[in-house]
Chain A
Amino acid sequence: MSTAGRMPAAEAGAAPAPARRAGWAWRRLPLLLLPLLALVAWQLVVWLAGPRDWLLPSPADVAQVLWDDRSRLWYHAQATIAEAGLGFALAASVGVALAVAIAASRGVEAAVYPWLIASQAIPILAVAPIVAIWLDYGAAQVMVAFVVAFFPVVVTGVDGLRGADPALSRAARTLGASRLWAFWRVTVPDAMPSLFSGLKMAAVFAVTGAVVAEYVGADRGLGYLSEFSTAQFRTDVSFAAILLLAVIGMAFFGIVGIAERLALPHRRHAARPPWRPR
């Protein structure tokens, strides 16, 4: 029997490497479009309206600060990265454990899930100052980052586990797999794509959470630096700090994205959706 006639698209010929690399750069060009437009508009406003530099510094002023104050900025960035990273790690581990417990037990679901959702209605800005009073500098930032980041992990984890295809674990069971094996090796991997969506959101939320907590009480961190500089009318420093925060947020998102690609290699080869032609 021949299978050649039904060879799938995976075997399709690869384009020559240089042409492909040029295409790669070309496809990513739109990435720079918005920042460039914003930069041009910003510079135009500075030239045409001529505001005082503490009201709106020019892009060049901010670039100057980024270079001149780099060691000070890096000192504060380290704190924010550590707080957000720790908060995210906590959110990921506690969130996944809670999602598993909720998906596995109706009792846990009934007792915990509704309160979890209710807890998200509490405005974090109102709670952050209280957390800052309770905990030391640093610990308060980790705590707030954790609180805002763990919700998307739990929700996407629970949805992923519930949405897992029961036919897969049934098949594994009839092949002799134990209930536990089927859960950890079939249901959990099946939930991973959904969970990673939540982890990517959590990674960005953790950065904003840490910054919010730095605003209300800290002695270090880019959020603290931004707030402190604004109060001293050093808007250029504040802008530089915010710019760095944006980069950190993107880096956090990117790292989880890379982890996803490593953890789910089969999805890298997944067919392009039909509504987005090549």
Chain B
Amino acid sequence: MTQAVPTILILSVIANFLALGSSNLRALIRAVAIQGLLLSVFPLAFAHSPSLRLAMLVAVSATVKGFVIPATLFRALREVHIRHEAEPYLGLVPSVLLCAVGTGLALLFAGYLPLADEHRGLLIVPAALSTFLTGFLLLTTRRKAISQVTGYLTLENGIFVFAQLLHEAMPFLVEVGVLLDLVVGIFVMGIVMNHIQREFSSLDTERLSELRD
């Protein structure tokens, strides 16, 4: 099954570029949802002996990342009546270029890290680092709370990819880490987003700029 691994990872790295390059919030949410779905099936392709436990992790993560969160974000988008342009601090083209450079560096850096025999040649480490970096870029260079949440999701996706390397050796760390981070993080962000919306009647974090030195 591991032949499918590089394909899935390359597709998800392409989703990174789609997410960073989309000028429309809907397209951004869609790109991140597709990536979430793709990566959710990734453990099945990667694991040597798929178990029920793994299948459950896959099901939960696919539902949350592929459907629940995107649906919530789309609903928030409908309700707040903000313009749907992404409005980044850093232009779309520079951020895509930055991501390309980052992906290259991730490939180089991953070359220095030793891997177990069964993990060689699968592109897992560079894909994880590149996705993590994309999430970081989305979080820091975007103005709207919604795109920041998608950034956080992408960050999570990056960790999820890397975590698969350890799933058989330390299932507890991986499952608890991934699920807790995802569910609780999004839950709390949802609450805060709700309050932002009520307080400012908008989800533009640009207005959150009163506190400065």
Q: Do A and B bind each other?
A: no
The interface of chain A, by Cβ under 8 A from chain B, is none
